[in-house]
């Protein structure tokens, strides 16, 4: 570029005197534009030299300042290095794939830009919606709301498995006082209930004591001979209490209540599910409210305009 500039300046010095003023002015303008371009190129080069690079693929650079925030503060040095290396390697692979794609297929850059814009919008909108919902969500769900939703959507709560409220014990045959377990299971006295709980904590390999909670029957009796019962529906209907054994353990089962699959689930069994549904509906409503509020406020302040085509 330097020699080219020098040659042009030499041509100007030897330009014939009879050249018109307009021709001379045109040549001076070209020289000025060329000089500006030279200065810009030099400035860009100096900027790139000042800005340290972390990696390069072809003419595309990943600069060190673009890595800010990838490693959270307080991360151990070894983990920090591993995480940074992983990011740089991932960036290189993506850039190589982009370059290969450009060689193999025609890329619609306008469509790509639209998708990038949509993705960027989705990320920013999600972050703000999450913040807004966290600030405004009412997490208290009353029992009346739970009951109302349960009553209005019975088809959503049809059981897909048999469930029970029951007491179940799996006790080693070598455990002491096993002959007393049945009496403790059937006793209504608080003292005996506490004794049964203490016995389970000390000797049972697995246990579940009946309370207000419901469980899937198959989950309750897993890893026991009861899993192999061929007709569990008839078993539950006819067998409120059952004992069995294998080579190592004694098994005790007392069923307080049961519900058969394809019937309506008790509300206690689906209570947490209903709460989650109600809270998710509130989140959707808050996201919609946020969207409407932002749009209405911008409309009032004339922050946007739609042009007729």
SS3 per residue for the chain: CHHHHHHHHHHHHCCCCCCCHHHHHHHHHHHHHHHHHHHHHHHHHHHHHHCCEEEEECCEEEEHHHHCCCCCCCCCHHHHHHHHHHHHHHHHHHHHHHHHHHHHCCCCHHHHHHHHHHHHHHHHHHHHHHHHHHHHCCCCCCHHHHHHHHHHCHHHHECCCCEEEEEEEEEECCCCCHHHHHHHHHCCCHHHHHHHHHHHHHHCCEEECCCCCCEEHHHHCCCCHHHHCCCHHHHHHHCCEEEEECCCEEEEEEEEEEECCCCECCHHHHHHHHHHHHHHHHHHHHHHHHHHHHHHHHHHCCCCCCCCC
Where the chain has pLDDT below 70, the residues are: 1-49, 309
CA-nearest of 40, 38, 44, 43 to 8 is 38
User: What pLDDT does residue 245 have?
Assistant: 96
Domain assignment of residue 146, yes or no: yes
Domain assignment of residue 268, yes or no: yes
Residues 101 and 188 in one domain: no
Domain assignment of residue 73, yes or no: yes
User: What pLDDT does residue 9 have?
Assistant: 41
| Domain region containing 281 | 108-157+264-298
User: What pLDDT does residue 202 have?
Assistant: 97
Question: Which residues are paired to 62 by β-bridges?
Answer: 55
Residue count (the chain):
309
Domain assignment of residue 309, yes or no: no
Residues 72 and 205 in one domain: no
Domain assignment of residue 115, yes or no: yes
Residues 229 and 146 in one domain: no
Residues 58 and 199 in one domain: no
179 neighbors 224 (Cβ within 8 angstroms): no
User: What pLDDT does residue 249 have?
Assistant: 97
Domain assignment of residue 144, yes or no: yes
Residues 208 and 90 in one domain: no
Count structural domains, the chain. 4
Residues 208 and 185 in one domain: yes
Q: Could you tell me the two tokens for 178?
A: 């096993």
User: What pLDDT does residue 82 have?
Assistant: 93
Residues 150 and 271 in one domain: yes
Domain assignment of residue 306, yes or no: no
Residues 77 and 192 in one domain: no
Domain assignment of residue 242, yes or no: yes
Residues 250 and 177 in one domain: yes
Cα–Cα separations (whole angstroms), residue 200 to 169, 204, 253, 257: 8, 5, 14, 22
User: What pLDDT does residue 238 have?
Assistant: 96
Residues 93 and 174 in one domain: no
């Amino acid at each position: 570029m330097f020699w080219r500039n020098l040659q042009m300046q030499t041509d100007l010095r030897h330009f014939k005197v009879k050249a018109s003023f307009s021709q001379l002015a045109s040549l001076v303008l070209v020289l000025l534009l060329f000089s500006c371009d030279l200065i810009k190129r030099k400035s860009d080069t100096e900027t790139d030299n000042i800005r340290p690079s972390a990696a390069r693929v072809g003419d595309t650079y990943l600069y060190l300042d673009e890595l800010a925030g990838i490693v959270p503060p307080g991360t151990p040095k070894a983990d920090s290095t591993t995480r940074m290396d992983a990011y740089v390697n991932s960036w290189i692979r993506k850039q190589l794939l982009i370059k290969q794609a450009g060689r193999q297929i025609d890329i619609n850059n306008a469509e790509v830009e639209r998708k990038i814009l949509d993705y960027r919008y989705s990320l920013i909108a999600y972050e703000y919606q999450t913040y807004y919902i966290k600030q405004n969500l009412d997490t208290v769900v009353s029992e009346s709301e739970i009951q109302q939703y349960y009553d209005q959507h019975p088809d959503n709560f049809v059981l897909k498995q048999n469930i029970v409220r029951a007491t179940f014990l799996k006790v080693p045959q070598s455990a002491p006082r096993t002959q007393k377990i049945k009496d403790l299971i059937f006793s209504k006295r608080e003292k005996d209930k506490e004794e049964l709980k203490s016995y389970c904590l000390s000797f049972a390999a697995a246990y579940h004591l009946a309370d207000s909670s419901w469980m899937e029957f198959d989950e309750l009796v897993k890893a026991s001979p009861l899993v192999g019962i061929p007709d569990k529906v008839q078993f539950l209907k006819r067998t409120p209490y059952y004992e069995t054994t294998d080579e190592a353990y004694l098994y005790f089962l007392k069923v307080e209540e049961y519900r058969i699959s394809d019937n309506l689930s008790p509300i206690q069994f689906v209570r947490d599910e209903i709460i989650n549904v109600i809270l998710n509906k509130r989140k959707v409503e808050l996201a919609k409210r946020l969207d409407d509020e932002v749009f209405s406020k911008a409309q009032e302040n004339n922050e946007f305009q739609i042009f007729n085509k």
